[in-house]
Structure 1
Amino acid sequence: MNLGKAENQKDNVKADEEDRPNIIFIITDQQRFDTIAAHGHDHMETPHLDRLVSEGVSFTNCHITAASCVPCRASLFTGYYPHVNGVLENEQLWQHTWVEKLRDAGYTCVNVGKMHTNPFNADAGFDERYIVENKDRYLQGRWYFDEWDKALAAHGLVKQQREKYRERDDYGRALGAFEWELPENLHSDVFVGNFAKWWLDTKPKAEPLFMQIGFPGPHPPYDPTPRFAERYMGKNNIPAPKVSDTDLSGQPSYLEHKRVHDAEVDHDSILWNPDRSDEDIRRMRAYYYANVTMIDESIGRLMQSLEDNGYIDNTVIIFVSDHGDCLGDHGVSQKWSMYDVVTKVPAIVWAPKRFEGSRTLDGLCQLFDFGPTILELAGLAVPDDYEAQSLLPALKGEDWTPRERVYCEQAGDMALTGADFITMVRDERYKLVHLMGSQEGQLFDLKTDPDEMINLWDCEAHAEIRTKMKEDILNWLIASNHKTRDRFALAR
């Protein structure tokens, strides 16, 4: 079933076409929630994101639906949880999206950068796609040759990538942190930002416009250019990872499996060296934060282009990320776990002429809730069986009921070798992580233990809470299956 053809879009347009805003949907890859200065994180330099915060609406408790790139994005762009659309791990097929509805309703739909569809070059509802995928993708015979590959090749350059990094003497200590040595304008995040700016500057003005801009960073390898790397290496307030003996001893065994695997297999140019030093970790984190500031600078150029080309007054900018990164917190690398540093993401909506700004909303929501929000902004009806819920009432300052609970699920995938299927349920106070087929799990009291250091899974005093939250997962799955019973045959 083609999502764009499921309904007659003309019948679903609810708003005056002249009121339909341009929508710029910016998605970074693997950006933690604690990487924006205006949200209280003074180790960061993010003046342009700070502007979005000060003039926009921030959702500070927004959680993903899957703990890795592909299933999270497939959920975001379909409106269904991963167990419904069938995309539960990386490299699974998916290509149909609600963007098709926007295109059918008259929006010019453009993608610049990462969407992570599979196949990469599916149209996914866009009129134009200028695709840039993972930084570390290097098997040219197997992978799609994207716009960034073409630009590098046209300059006679070879992309910095895993097979080249492996030749370095410091590869085992770098933890994925490598300075970008090629021209700055050919860094993936600069390239994507400049490509989107080129489109805005050179194409005839297209209104209404939906543009999805997918920055590859700060996903590893963490590869800032020298001027950004030096700036962050000179800081004395780079946060150290949060980890303790109590934390490590209380973890389920799948996380130890992950540590061992990550020390043997260098996913995304990271070899998780068990002999890493504090300085190794500090450099990794400094380079990661520097990547974020590079993206911030690109966002500033994009906002100036939107203003220069007459888009800005009728534009809604939505800024999010697809998941976070442990960066050594809990002794773990990257994602594929259910800690808040992975599941909670930055989420900002900027439209000062449309929504009252300088607001922070702390209620629980999920990343895929931005799908129906975008549809409603465009004046389109949201399908009744969508599991995502529009955030438009919250943006308008109307009555908004946050979610009581958020859910996240992940099938065994790449670095996740010690667990076949993980499910998380989280409310305002407690988080439970269920491991299929295992007696192990995780339970945290987020009120008394916001850093998730003390696993209460085996604590007798919390047995009733553990049972109740496991029942929450059961009831959620039953209700989800019932609500989406006509969608299981959906062609991905």
Structure 2
Amino acid sequence: MRKSFILSSLLLISLFATAQNKKPNIIFMITDDQRFDGLSIVQQEQGKAARFSYLQTPNMDRIAKEGVRFRNAFVTLSLCSPSRASMLTGQYNHINGIVNNYQPFTDSVNTLPALLRTAGYKTALIGKWHMGSQKGKRPGYDYSASYIAHGKYYDCPFEVDGVSEPTKGWIDDVATDYAIDFIKKNKDHPFALTLAFKAPHGGWTPPKRYDKLYDNVKLTRPVNEKDKPAYVSFIYPEYAAADKELFDWTDLYGMKRVIPYWETVKGADDGVGRVLDLLKELKLEENTVIIFTSDNGYFHGEHALQDKRAAYEESMRVPLLIKYPARFPRGKIVDEMALNLDLPSTMLELAGVKPPERFQGKSLVSLIQGKQKDWRKSFLFQYFYESNSPTPTLLAVRTDKAKLVKYPHQDDWAELFDLEKDPYEMNNLYNKPEYSSLKEKMEKEFEKQLIETRYKDPKNAPKLPLDDNGKYIPYKGKPNQ
């Protein structure tokens, strides 16, 4: 019996060593517009403060429980195409040039998938690409099964290596089918798969199995719904008063918006579960890195806003989960700030590839393993004006304790928040004399970040609508973008 125990132990050690030495498979899963608190494990952690306590994301939670959860993960520009470009290039958008949702991404050489392919990986992009209305095989990948722009939730045509194919069913179920087929075909070779879900992007149409899932839940209004940014009162003066609402609660905060949003998240969670189950079935689980995140957050009435883009927490914070049984602990929580810029460097390090110097993010590996002594305490956030949105150009610095938001050409809109005392960003301190020392400190950090990130105004951003005095001209569109 002792001999059998020794042999079993040696076998386990051998299997672990093999997993350590073999290139890990990498599966990168991205949802679209999923808020940082859009996980049932986070809602449970928030307790009485949870606004969406009814959420059901058991499979996303599995990654968190079996891996590492980042409480403070952020994007550096809260918009679909720019965020995805940063996760391809490891660079800020003022560097990589993708500053809005209307630009194709054509680089097939200097990107994460291209570097992984050079390192011997079979690479694939399945699901949402969303770089404008770009068609064709996705650059830098060996294989792609994707759709044009946002696609549609049901019966969406996919382009398989650039060739259009009709599909039947809910879009993220179909994408997961393609992903499962890719994994099965490449199970004996290192692969790097990006599975990009459409959910929970607008046009919310959940799978039919969940279209009544949350119909009877209690809806809760956001505590900071009346704390509007200054530009809202400027653009929509009729809503300047605190008690004036931009949106109808029943229609837009409730059943027609919030509920189907979360029902589509539940559909994407099913896809996550199918992938996790397949890895276990194929005995690939131990040596596969799973990274789950979103391209940006989303407002559900906070600050009287919908959509994303602005520099408030609900927009810029995202879920981030990483699981790698061969090397990473189970159930670890990391509180340090992680960025979407960090993910390419992280994946390259795990693949045994040195991240290029042009990457502006940091690998998260040493942080996860508890070997990182110093870590970032601040980062730059940005958004560039688009002609179809009321959100103005803005630049912000976010530290572990505070936030400064600046609006070029409108100094009177500036915001300063003490995030330790005011996590919902309800009390703007910028013009309060008693906080002048915090303001001065944040101004210095802002200038420091501009230098460190090599900031420059992007040439390809639309021109700001300014009057003869250099001030914003009010946006003429509807408030609920």
Query: Is residue 242 from structure 1 mapped to residue 245 from structure 2 by the alignment?
Result: no
Correspondence for 1:131: 146
TM-score using structure 1 length: 0.78
User: Given the alignment of the two structures, is residue 381 of structure 1 paired with residue 395 of structure 2, yes or no?
Assistant: no
- Structure 1 position 17, deviation (Å): 9.7
Q: Identify which of 310, 313, 317 aligns with 2:286.
A: 313
2:194 corresponds to which letter in structure 1? Q
Equivalent position SS for 1:75:
helix
Structure 1: runs of 5+ lacking an equivalent: 1-14, 139-143, 156-184, 262-272
Shift in alpha-carbon separation, 1:471–1:193, aligned structure 2, 3 A: same
Q: How many residues align?
A: 418
Find the partner of 2:95 among 61, 69, 84.
84
Q: Which residue of the other structure, out of 101, 110, 116, is the alignment partner of 2:115? A: 101
RMSD: 3.0
Note the C-alpha offset of 1:406: 2.0
Q: Distance in 2 between matches of 1:26 and 1:76?
A: 12
Q: Is the 8 A contact 1:43 1:239 kept in 2?
A: no
| 1:111 CA drift (Å) | 0.9
Are positions 1:45 and 2:56 aligned together? Answer: yes
Match of 2:462 in 1: none
Q: Does the C-alpha gap of structure 1 residues 81 and 464 become closer, same or farther in structure 2, counting only changes over 3 Å? A: same
Distance verdict in 2 for CA 1:425–1:353, change over 3 Å: same
Partner of 2:180: 197
Contact 1:255–1:332 (8 Å) recurs in 2: no
Q: 2:375 aligns with which of 374, 395, 402?
A: 402
Structure 1 residues 151 and 98: alpha-carbon distance in aligned structure 2, compared to 1, 3 A threshold: closer
Contact 1:258 1:416 in 2 (8 A): no
Give the match for residue 111 of structure 1.
125
Query: What residue number does 2:300 align with?
Result: 327
The counterpart of 1:364, out of the listed 328, 337, 343, is 337
SS at match of 2:341: helix
1:281 counterpart residue number:
253
CA contact (8 A) 1:258 1:418 kept: no
In structure 1, C-alpha distance between the alignment counterparts of 2:36 and 2:448, rounded to whole Å? 29
- In 2, distance between residues paired with 1:352 and 1:391? 16
Which amino acid letter does the alignment assign opposite residue 214 of structure 2?
Answer: Y
Q: Deviations over 1:124-146 (max 9, x none)?
A: 311001113544679xxxxx964
How many Å separate the matches in 1 of 2:309 and 2:248?
A: 21
State the distance in 1 between where 2:237 and 2:314 align. Answer: 17
Q: Helix, strand or coil for the counterpart of 1:77?
A: helix
Please state how far the C-alpha of 1:364 moved relative to its aligned partner. Answer: 1.2
Distance 2:397 2:210 in 1: 38
Given the alignment, which residue of 246, 251, 257 partners 2:235? 257
Letter of the aligned partner of 2:406 in structure 1? H
Q: Do structure 1's residue 35 and structure 2's residue 7 form an aligned pair?
A: no
Counterparts of 2:166 and 2:96, CA distance in 1? 39
Amino acid at match of 1:240: R
Answer 1 or 2: higher relative contact order, Cα 8 Å, separation at least 6: 1
* Alpha-carbon contact 2:287-2:325 (below 8 Å) kept: no
Contact 1:67 1:336 in 2 (8 A): yes
Task: Name the SS of the counterpart of 2:213 in structure 1.
Answer: helix
Whether contact under 8 Å (2:204, 2:261) holds in the other structure is: yes
The alpha-carbon deviation at position 239 of structure 1 amounts to 3.6
Q: Is 1:135–1:220's contact at 8 Å kept on the other side of the alignment? A: no
Q: What corresponds to 1:467 in structure 2?
A: 440
Residues of 2 paired with 1:260 and 1:152: CA distance? 47
Give TM-score, length-normalised by structure 2.
Answer: 0.80
Alignment of 1:289-308 (within 5 A): 289-308=262-281
In terms of mean alpha carbon deviation, does 189-198 or 463-472 score higher?
Answer: 463-472
Residues of 2 paired with 1:347 and 1:438: CA distance? 34
The aligned counterpart of 1:209 is 191
Worse-superposed segment, 462-471 or 191-200: 462-471
